[in-house]
Amino acid sequence: MNVGYQRKIGGTMNRLRNLNLAISSTIVLRLKNSIPLKNSIKFKKAAAVILSLFILSSVSSCAINPATGGANLVLMTQAKEKEIGLEEHEKVLASMGLFEDEDLLAYVTKVGNKVAKVSHRPNLEYTFTIIDSPEINAFALPGGYVYVNRGILTFMNSEAELAAVIAHEIGHITARHAVQQQARGKIAQTAATVGGFVTAVATGSGYVGSQISEVASIWAQTSLSGFGREAELEADSLAAEYLVNAGYDPAAMIEVITVLKNQEDFNKKIANNSGGYHGLFATHPRNDTRLQQAIAAVGNITDNQITETDDTAFRENVDGLIVGRSHQSQSNETRNRYYQNLLGYTLVFPDEWEISETTTTVTASKASVGSVKIEVQRIQDNIEPRIFIKDKMGIENLQKSEALAQYRLIGHTGISKSVQSGNQERVAVIYFGPRVFIIRGEILDPGRIDEIDAELLASVRTFRAIQQGEAFSGNEAKIKFVQASEFFDFSVVARSSRIANYPEETLRLLNGYYPSGNPEVGEWIKLIE
């Protein structure tokens, strides 16, 4: 170990000790301000205990991170990490539909293991899983569990790009980001627990232990929602390094992050038109910064370091891959979800309610229980949804009145009495782009008013914009690779595409040509059949 490296580690260790000392000092100061003077002797003894505990923890729980070379504060062995990973993996398998394609999974596993072998934790047993979801995402759990959504595979255009996605997730695992995050939570929890204990000792209260409980499945929540800025940048840098070591061009990181950025740009464009953007990648740092730092960390690459350039296997395994929702995922969804592709919205009606359509309305009903009708109008006046119900619908005495704010859409809802039938009805209006959607749900069973109203309100709260790539008309849509001809043009091809919404934009996004440009002659292009 060289002197510089020793100094780096020593400095990191000192900073961690100082951090813990600061935390403990804060707790002691707060206790001091709340404890009577007559108990100062007990206080001093307790304070000494808590200071010792924190200093001891900073020394005993610091470990050298094999990926970064720095010191990490961890409270878990690798064996425990693997145990938790397996437990959470079983939860993922039970809660998320898997994409059943043995050949594709074998291919993803092959690429993943190639990257894992050159990582900082090559001896860890990695498990790769494909999730049957159209969302463009991937995530990882402690202990070597990597998950790739079917949706992100459809937007990859080379094996190197697939390897880049996997390498990023392996970077999270090798750097033990989830474990570090858990350790920080434990420190905060310990501070609260010890603080309560010291207070009890000093004051003689009947405090018997901490009342704080851990959040269930913190691992899965962290992985799905993303890590902090520094962790994401670190995973990108590690991924670029692993790509080079595995024989892939690290520039694939640029292509992948460009895919994410293009998705952001397109979804924001839709949001400006319809207000439906959720911000799937909102927790990630700015793409330009990530890109610069990740690639710069690799250094200069020689041509002989890039050996994996044949994408034949990639095309063979991705050809025929489902785009959008699969029949299997739809059959797994027991809810009564309705898609209105023309107007671009979707919602879930109550279970077992029959849905019917006309050119102007959508109705769902169940005999002797209730019915709900959706109508649409152009927004004429710039008024609040609550005022729309009062002035435009003529409902003066709205009960249980409340504002709606869901999926970046605004609206208002409440209950009233139907003028025609005298039955109670759930009324809602939702502003969606230039239109206002009017929802009226009538309750037919007077003995179940509260129960049925709860179902209607839950249905109203599921109203949202159809997300890009979520639904295609007819049977399953699948990828088909073709070679571009001399006159290939995305705008022309899109006219005959079966993609229901934004066909040209979707084809461009799938092929890495968003927002403009066309492929060269002979270039492999993904179409939807």
Interatomic CA distance for residues 463 and 348, integer angstroms: 7
Q: What stretch of H or E contains 320?
A: none
Q: What is the CA radius of gyration of the chain?
A: 28
Interatomic CA distance for residues 301 and 298, integer angstroms: 8
Cis peptide before 515 (omega within 30 of 0): yes
CATH of 345-465, one of 1.10.10.10, 3.10.20.30, 3.40.1000.10, 3.40.50.2000: 3.40.1000.10
* Dihedral over alpha carbons 19, 22, 26, 28 (to 10 degrees): 110
Spatial neighbors of 243 by CB under 8 A, at least 6 apart, are 115, 160, 163, 164, 167, 249, 250, 252, 253
Interatomic CA distance for residues 172 and 144, integer angstroms: 10
Residue pair 519/513 in contact by the 8 Å Cβ criterion? yes
**What confidence score (pLDDT) does residue 296 get?**
74
Q: How many residues does the chain have?
A: 529
Interatomic CA distance for residues 163 and 432, integer angstroms: 39
**What confidence score (pLDDT) does residue 171 get?**
94
For 48, the token pair is 């000494």
**What confidence score (pLDDT) does residue 227 get?**
65
How far does Cα 20 stand from its chain's mean position? 32
- Burial of 296-326, coded b for 16+ CB within 10 Å and e otherwise, reads ebbeeeeeeebebeebeebeebbeebbbbbb
Nearest CA-CA partner of 343 in 416, 430, 427: 430
* Residue ranges for the chain with pLDDT beneath 70: 1-75, 181-227, 271-291, 293-294, 329-335, 468-474
Amino acid sitting at position 56: L
Interatomic CA distance for residues 338 and 7, integer angstroms: 61
Interatomic CA distance for residues 151 and 67, integer angstroms: 29
**What confidence score (pLDDT) does residue 134 get?**
84
CB atoms within 10 A of CB 197: 17
Ramachandran angles phi, psi of 123, nearest 5°: -85, -5
Interatomic CA distance for residues 341 and 260, integer angstroms: 25
Tell me, letter by letter, the H, E, C secondary structure of 236-290: HHHHHHHHHHHCCCCCHHHHHHHHHHHHHHHHHHHHHHHCCCCCCCCCCCCHHHH
The β-bridge relationship of strands 477-483 and 524-528 is antiparallel
**What confidence score (pLDDT) does residue 222 get?**
47
Interatomic CA distance for residues 143 and 126, integer angstroms: 8
In the sheet that holds 354-357, the strands lie side by side as 354-357, 361-366, 370-378, 435-443, 424-432, 409-417, 399-406
For 347, the token pair is 């919602």
Interatomic CA distance for residues 426 and 372, integer angstroms: 9
**What confidence score (pLDDT) does residue 368 get?**
94
Per-state percent for the chain, helix, strand, coil, to nearest 5: 45, 20, 35
What are the Cα distances from residue 172, in Å, to 140, 176, 217, 259, 289? 7, 6, 17, 20, 18
Residue indicated by tokens 């100094």: 7
Show me where the domains of the chain are located. Answer: 3-72+179-203, 78-174+218-311, 345-465
What are the Cα distances from residue 65, in Å, to 75, 121, 289? 13, 10, 24
Q: What does 112-128 look like in DSSP terms, one character per residue?
A: HHHHHHTSS-TTS--EE
* Dihedral over alpha carbons 255, 260, 265, 266 (to 10 degrees): 100
Residue pair 335/352 in contact by the 8 Å Cβ criterion? no
Q: What does 155-208 look like in DSSP terms, one character per residue?
A: T--SHHHHHHHHHHHHHHHHTTHHHHHHHHHHHHHHHHHHHHHHHHHHHT----
**What confidence score (pLDDT) does residue 498 get?**
81
**What confidence score (pLDDT) does residue 474 get?**
52
Residue indicated by tokens 């319809």: 274
**What confidence score (pLDDT) does residue 300 get?**
78
Residue indicated by tokens 């995973």: 235
For 430, the token pair is 């939702």
What's the whole-model pTM score?
0.61
